[in-house]
């Protein structure tokens, strides 16, 4: 039987009275796996009120950091105990491979553990000021955090927000992407088994234009943390002006991967494949623009295409699959349309370009690894985020030109440099205007490092201590250690 999903508000699973349910689809088979409610505005407002009330009550925000850490560790434990189910739900709903979903679920548990650990670390600052004044700088929760996440890492993006927001003592309302709610619902079922007080964490399922917009404009929400497209990020910023709520945005990218003549070719080819085809290219930090120096351009392209040809596209639950499905029919059509645009613009289609219909994949949304070469900076396939398994390989002559092309984008999320000359590599990566970068690697990051972009790739940072800051206010407390009148008006 198809599962009927519910909202989770004030510690209760709430059935939707509205008849219009959204079909939740497995993108590898087009089967309906669940029905989800599409919350109207009043349900969202009610969930925000619950979060507000819970925050004001102090039931969570007044607990000591150690008590909050203990609950975060319980959440990490229940995630770990249910890791197979979380992984399989993600595969079924998002279309990614088992290996990718396993890694997401493991990182979800680690993220809760990391923030639990951070709560036991020294924090704050103290100063001694003139006139026997002692100043304490302390961090406090913001209040109610509205968390809006995309479909590409449904579990992990939720956790990247929930863990620091709860660690800081906030009450939260999570809105998953409407097409991928399965793992978020499971996560809330698991959190329900812990000592997290009821009403602190709430979940509302539904559309961006109603649920998301209501969160962004609510005067009862103090911080909105959003991951998604740059276009929607702009709408969130506008909606947030009503009560000047804090805004944290993780947005799109069109990230350059620069490969110099002196790079270790084998390593560069390998990471350049991983950089774009992991997650079928539906990763915000994907290395979707490969810039290759002219001396090795032909050799690189030949080796790259050869290897890309061998990537096994298939059902995420098939252990042999290396690249899974595209998340939805709409997105699948959008990627295929970009491939047509690339051809019309005169780029050379060196590999792929089609949907995959072999071996029982004809029902699902599968696209071949696609490689365009001999592209120029003005082409739409080079400028716009395609968010699929489509890469553009561009030629450059020298260091100066590499940096110029790399930065010729409105985005600034990620970037990489491959070279055996460490001085040159560091020199160049420092000039790339992006927040997440690598030398001789791609995609490898850790929870301790801040995640976020320059330019139109966002505002603020996730993960690390910086990620905790996004959900905290900073207060100065000035203490007069020798109280006596100031006599300003004497």
Q: Report the distance separating Cα 334 and Cα 399, nearest Å.
A: 34
Q: Is 411 in the site for ligand NAD (CB under 6 A)?
A: no
* In the complex, least distance from residue 223 CB atom to ligand NAD, rounded to whole angstroms: 14
Question: Smallest gap, in angstroms, from Cβ of residue 326 to ligand NAD?
Answer: 12
The torsion region of residue 125 among left (phi > 0), alpha (psi -120 to 50) and beta comes to beta
- Which residue, among 472, 469, 462, has the nearest Cα to 111 in the 3D structure? 462
d(CA 377, CA 84): 43
Among 227, 255, 373, 456, binds ligand NAD (CB under 6 A): 227
Backbone torsions φ then ψ of 7, nearest 5 degrees: -80, 160
The span from the CA of 357 to the CA of 274, in Å, is 23
Catalytic-residue membership of 81? no
CB distance 286 to 275 below 8 Å: yes
- Give the residue among 411, 417, 450 at the shortest CA–CA distance from 434: 411
Determine if 412 is a binding residue for ligand NAD (CB under 6 A).
no
How near is the Cβ of 409 to ligand NAD at its closest, in Å? Answer: 13
Given 90, 107, 178, 284, the catalytic residue: 284
Residue from 100, 178, 217, 250 carrying the catalytic annotation: 250
Q: Does 425 bind ligand NAD (CB under 6 A)?
A: no
Q: Which of 235, 301, 402, 429 binds ligand NAD (CB under 6 A)?
A: 235
229 binds ligand NAD (CB under 6 A): yes
> How many chain residues touch ligand NAD (CB under 6 A)?
31
User: Which DSSP string do the residues of 58-75 spell out, in sequence order?
Assistant: TTTTTS-HHHHHHHHHHH
CB nearer to ligand NAD: pick between 353 and 458: 458
Q: Is 150:227 a contact under the CB 8 Å cutoff? A: yes
Burial of 62 (0-12, 13-18, 19+ CB in 10 A): exposed
Piece of 86-94, 110-118, 147-155, 399-407 that binds ligand NAD (CB under 6 A): 147-155
CA distance 75 to 371: 42
Residues 6+ apart with CB under 8 A from 11: 192, 198, 199
Closest approach of ligand NAD to the CB of residue 131, in Å? 46
Q: How far is the CB of 81 from ligand NAD (least distance, A)?
A: 27
Would you count residue 203 as binding ligand NAD (CB under 6 A)?
no
212 binds ligand NAD (CB under 6 A): yes
Can you tell me the distance from the alpha carbon of 224 to that of 222, in angstroms, rounded to the nearest whole number? Answer: 7
What mask, x for binding ligand NAD by CB under 6 A, covers residues 242 to 281? --------xxxx----------------------------
Minimum distance from CB of 51 to ligand NAD (Å)?
17
Min. distance of Cβ 25 from ligand NAD in angstroms?
Answer: 15
Residue 284 binds ligand NAD (CB under 6 A): yes
Rg from Cα positions in the chain:
24
Residue 148 or 276: the one with the smaller Cβ distance to ligand NAD is 148
455: left (phi over 0), alpha (psi -120 to 50) or beta: left
**Nearer Cβ to ligand NAD (100/385):** 385
Based on the residue annotation, tell me whether 284 is a catalytic residue of this protein: yes
Q: Does 175 bind ligand NAD (CB under 6 A)?
A: yes
Q: Which residues bind ligand NAD (CB under 6 A)?
A: 148-152, 157, 175, 177-178, 207-209, 212-213, 216, 227-229, 232, 235-236, 250-253, 284, 385, 387, 413, 453, 458
Catalytic residues: 250, 284
């Amino acid at each position: 039987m198809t599962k009927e999903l519910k909202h989770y508000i004030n510690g209760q699973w709430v059935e939707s009275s509205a008849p219009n349910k959204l079909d939740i689809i497995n993108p590898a088979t087009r089967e309906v796996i669940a029905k989800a409610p599409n919350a109207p505005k009043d349900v969202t407002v009610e969930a925000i009120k619950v979060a507000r009330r819970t925050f004001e009550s102090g039931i969570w925000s007044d607990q000591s950091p150690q008590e909050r850490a203990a609950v975060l560790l319980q959440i990490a434990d229940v995630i770990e105990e249910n890791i197979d189910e979380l992984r399989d739900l993600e595969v079924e709903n998002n279309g990614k491979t088992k290996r990718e979903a396993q890694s997401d679920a493991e990182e979800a548990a680690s993220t809760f553990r990391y923030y639990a650990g951070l709560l036991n670390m020294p924090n704050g600052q103290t100063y001694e000021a003139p006139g026997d004044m002692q100043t304490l700088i302390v961090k406090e929760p913001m209040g109610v955090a509205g968390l809006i996440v995309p479909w590409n890492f449904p579990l992990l993006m939720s956790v990247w927000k929930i863990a620091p927001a709860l660690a800081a003592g906030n009450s939260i309302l999570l809105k998953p992407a409407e097409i991928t709610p399965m793992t978020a619902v499971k996560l809330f079922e698991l959190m329900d088994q812990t000592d997290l007080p009821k009403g602190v964490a709430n979940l509302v399922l539904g559309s961006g234009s109603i649920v998301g917009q209501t969160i962004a404009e609510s005067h009862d929400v103090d911080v909105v943390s959003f991951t998604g497209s740059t276009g929607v990020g702009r709408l969130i910023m506008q909606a947030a002006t009503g009560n000047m709520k804090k805004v944290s945005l993780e947005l799109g990218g069109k990230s350059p991967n620069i490969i110099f003549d002196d790079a270790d070719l084998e390593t560069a080819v390998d990471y350049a494949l991983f950089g774009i085809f992991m997650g079928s290219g539906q990763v915000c930090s994907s290395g979707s623009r490969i810039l290759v120096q002219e001396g090795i351009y032909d050799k690189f392209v030949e080796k790259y295409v050869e290897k890309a040809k061998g990537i096994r596209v298939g059902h995420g639950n098939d252990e042999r699959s290396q690249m899974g499905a595209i998340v939805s029919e709409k997105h699948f059509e959008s990627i295929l349309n970009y491939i047509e645009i690339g051809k019309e613009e005169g780029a050379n289609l060196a590999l792929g370009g089609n949907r995959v219909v072999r071996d029982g994949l004809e029902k699902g949304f599968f696209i071949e690894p696609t490689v365009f070469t001999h592209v120029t900076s003005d082409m739409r396939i080079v400028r716009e985020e395609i968010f699929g398994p489509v890469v553009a390989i561009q030629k450059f002559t020298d260091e100066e030109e590499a940096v110029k092309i790399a930065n010729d984008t409105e985005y600034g999320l990620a970037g990489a440099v491959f070279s055996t000359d460490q001085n040159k590599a560091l020199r160049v990566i420092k000039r790339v205007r992006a927040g997440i970068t690598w030398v001789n690697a791609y995609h490898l990051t850790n929870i301790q490092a801040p995640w976020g972009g320059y330019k139109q790739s966002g505002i603020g940072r996730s993960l690390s201590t910086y990620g905790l800051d996004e959900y905290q206010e900073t207060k100065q407390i000035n203490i007069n250690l020798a109280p006596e009148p100031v006599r300003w008006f004497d």
